[in-house]
Structure 1
Amino acid sequence: MTTSTLTPLAGSQLGNPVINIAIFAAFVVATMFIVVRVSSGRTKKKETSDFYTGGARFDGRQNGLAIAGDYLSAASFLGIVGAVAYYGYDGLLYSIGFLVAWLVALLLVAEPLRNTGRYTMADVLSFRMKQKPVRMAAAISTLLVSFFYLLAQMAGAGGLVALLLGVSDDFMQNVVITLVGVLMIAYVLIGGMKGTTWVQMIKAILLVTGVIVMSIWVMALHGFNLSSLVQGAIDHVNSVQETAGQGESLLEPMGKYGSNKVGFISLSLALVLGAAGLPHVLMRFYTVPTAREARRSVSWAIGLIGTFYLMTMILGFGAAALVGKENIDQMPGKANAAAAALAFELGGTLLLAIIAGVAFATILAVVAGLAITASASFAHDIYNNVMKDGKADPRVEVKVARYTVLVIGALSIIGGVAAKSQNVAFLVSLAFAVAASANLPSILYSLYWKGFKTQGSLWSIYGGLTSAIVLIIFSPAVSGAESSMIPTADFAWFPLDNPALVSVPVGFFLGWLGSVLSDEDNTAVSTEMEVRSLTGADAGGAISH
Structure 2
Amino acid sequence: MTSTLAAGIPANNPVLNTLVFALFVAITLFVVYRASTRNSSTSDYYAAGSAFTGRQNGIALSGDFLSAASFLGIAGAIAIHGYDGFLYSIGFLVAWLVDLLLIAELLRNTGRFTVGDVLSFRMKQRPVRAAAATSTLVISLFYMLAQMAGAGGLVALLLNIHGKFGQALVIGGVGLVMVLYVLVGGMKGTTWVQIIKATILLLAGALITVFLFGKFGFSFSNLLSAAAEKSPLGEKLFEPGGSYGRSGVTKLDFVSLALALVLGLSSLPHLLMRFYTVPNARESRRSVVWAVVCMLVFYLCTLVIGFGAAALVGADEIKAAPGGENSAAPLLALHVGGTLLLGVISAVAFATILAVVAGLTLTASASFAHDVYANIFKRGKADPRDEVRVARITAIVVGLLAILGGILANGQNVAFLVALAFAVAASTNLSTLLYSLFWKRFNTTGTLWGIYGGLIACLVLVLFSPVVSGDPDSIVKGIDFHWFPLKNPGLVSIPFSFLCGFVGTFAGRSKADPAKHAEMEVRSLTGIGS
Which bin holds the TM-score, normalised by the shorter protein?
Answer: over 0.9
Letter in 2 for 1:30: I
| Cα 1:534/1:198, change in 2 over 3 Å | same
1:88, 1:218 → 2: CA distance? 17
The one-letter code of the counterpart of 2:358 is A
State the 1:255 CA deviation. Answer: 2.5
Cα deviation code 1:91-126 (max 9, x no counterpart): 111111111122233223211111001000110011
Distance 2:315 2:144 in 1: 29
C-alpha distance 10-465 of structure 1, shift in aligned 2 (>3 A): farther
Correspondence 1:97-112 to 2 at 5 A: 97-112=91-106
Residue 422 to residue 131, structure 1, CA distance change in 2 (3 Å): same
Whether contact under 8 Å (1:84, 1:90) holds in the other structure is: yes
TM-superposition CA deviations, 1:231-252 (whole Å, max 9, x none):
2212333xxxxx4xx4111111
The residue number in structure 2 matching 1:126 is 120
Q: How does 1:388-407 map to 2 (within 5 A)?
A: 388-407=378-397
1:446 and 2:436 matched: yes
Q: Pick one of 244, 248, 272 that aligns with 1:257.
A: 244
Q: Matches of 1:483 and 1:426 in 2, distance apart?
A: 12
TM-superposed CA distance for 1:388, in Å, is: 1.1
Contact 1:185 1:409 in 2 (8 A): yes
- What amino acid sits opposite 2:450 in the alignment? S
Comparing 481-490 with 289-298, greater Cα deviation is found at 481-490
Counterparts of 2:413 and 2:312, CA distance in 1? 28
| Cα drift, residue 254 of structure 1 | 1.6
SS at match of 1:329: helix
Task: Give the corresponding residue for 2:463.
Answer: 473
Q: Does structure 1 residue 529 correspond to structure 2 residue 516?
A: no
- Give me the whole-angstrom Cα distance separating, in 2, the residues matched to 1:174 and 1:342: 25
Q: Does 1:461 align with 2:451?
A: yes
Post-superposition Cα deviations, 1:496-532, rounded to whole Å, max 9, x if no partner, equal: 1111111000001111121233450311111111111
Gaps of 5+ in 2: none
| Residues 7 and 412 (structure 1), Cα distance of their counterparts in 2 relative to 1, 3 Å cut | closer
Give the conservation status (yes or no) of the 8 Å contact 2:324–2:411: no
Q: C-alpha separation between the residues in 1 aligned to 2:404 and 2:465?
A: 24
Q: Which of 24, 29, 34 in structure 2 is aligned with 1:37? A: 34
**Aligned equivalents of 1:426 and 1:269: distance in 2?**
14
What residue is the counterpart of 1:369 in the other structure? 359
Q: Quote the Cα distance in structure 2 between the aligned partners of 1:86 and 1:158.
A: 20
Deviation at 1:418, TM superposition (A): 3.5
1:37 counterpart letter in structure 2: R
Partner AA of 1:63 in structure 2:
N
**Aligned AA (2:276):** Y
CA contact (8 A) 2:325 2:413 kept: no
Is 1:66 matched up with 2:60?
A: yes
Residue 271 of structure 1 pairs with residue 258 of structure 2: no
In 1, the alpha carbon distance for the partners of 2:299 and 2:394 equals 34
Q: TM-score, normalised by structure 2?
A: 0.95
Q: Return the letter of the residue paired with 1:251.
A: F
More off after superposition, 338-347 vs 95-104? 95-104
Equivalent position to 1:16, from 13, 31, 41: 13
The answer to whether the 8 Å contact 2:369/2:390 transfers is: yes
Q: 1:149 aligns to what?
A: 143
Partner AA of 1:253 in structure 2: P
Distance 2:8 2:501 in 1: 55
Percent identity between the aligned chains?
59
Aligned to 1:337: 327
Cα separation, partners in 2 of 1:313 and 1:253, compared to 1, 3 Å: same
Query: Which residue identity does 2:278 align to in structure 1?
Result: V
Equivalent residue letter for 1:248: E
Task: Give the direction of change, closer, same or farther, for the CA distance of 1:507–1:333 in structure 2 (3 Å limit).
Answer: same
- Find 2:418's aligned residue among 428, 439, 444: 428
User: Structure 2 vs 1, CA of residues 521 and 323 (structure 1 numbering), >3 Å: closer, same or farther?
Assistant: closer
Partner of 2:186: 192
**8 Å CA contact 1:9, 1:331 repeated in 2:** no
Aligned mates of 1:208, 1:124 — CA distance in 2: 33
Question: How much does 1:7 deviate?
Answer: 5.7
Residue pair 1:426, 1:477 contacting (<8 A) in 2 also: no
Match of 2:234 in 1: 247
The question of whether the paired residues in 1 share the 8 Å contact of 2:89 and 2:299 is answered with: yes
Q: Compute the displacement of 1:268 (Å).
A: 1.3
Out of 63-72 and 269-278, give the one that drifted further: 269-278
Say whether residues 1:305 and 2:295 are aligned partners: yes
Structure 1 residue 27 corresponds to structure 2 residue 24: yes
Cα deviations across residues 180-223 of structure 1 (Å, max 9, x unaligned)? Answer: 11111111111110000011111000111110111122123223
Paired AA for residue 38 in structure 2: G
Q: Find 1:284's aligned residue among 274, 285, 298.
A: 274
Paired with 2:151 and 2:521, the residues of 1 have a C-alpha distance of: 42
CA shift at 1:276, angstroms? 1.3
State the shift of 1:424 in Å.
5.5
For residue 240 of structure 1, what is the aligned residue in structure 2?
A: none
What is the aligned partner in structure 2 of residue 383 from structure 1?
Answer: 373
Deviations 1:379-429 (A, max 9, x none): 000011111111111111111111111211222223323333567567434
Alignment-mate amino acid for residue 38 of structure 1: A
Shift of 1:465: 0.2
Change (3 A) 1:164 1:9: farther
Report the Cα offset of residue 8 of structure 1.
4.1
User: Alignment partner for residue 223 of structure 1, among 214, 217, 220?
Assistant: 217
Shift of residue 224, structure 1, vs aligned partner: 2.7
- CA distance in 2 between counterparts of 1:16 and 1:293 reads 44
Deviation at 1:173, TM superposition (A): 1.4
Which amino acid is the alignment partner of residue 52 of structure 1?
Answer: Y
Q: Kindly tell me: are residues 212 and 403 of structure 1, through their superposed partners in 2, closer, same or farther at Cα, counting changes over 3 Å?
A: same
User: What TM-score does the superposition give when structure 1 sets the normalisation length?
Assistant: 0.93
Aligned-partner Cα distance in 2 for 1:255–1:406:
41
Secondary structure of the equivalent of 1:132?
Answer: helix
Q: Which amino acid aligns with 2:242?
A: G
Letter in 2 for 1:499: P
Shifted more, 47-56 versus 147-156: the winner is: 147-156
- Look up the match of 1:409: 399
**What is the alpha-carbon distance in structure 2 between the residues aligned to residue 173 and residue 9 of structure 1?**
26
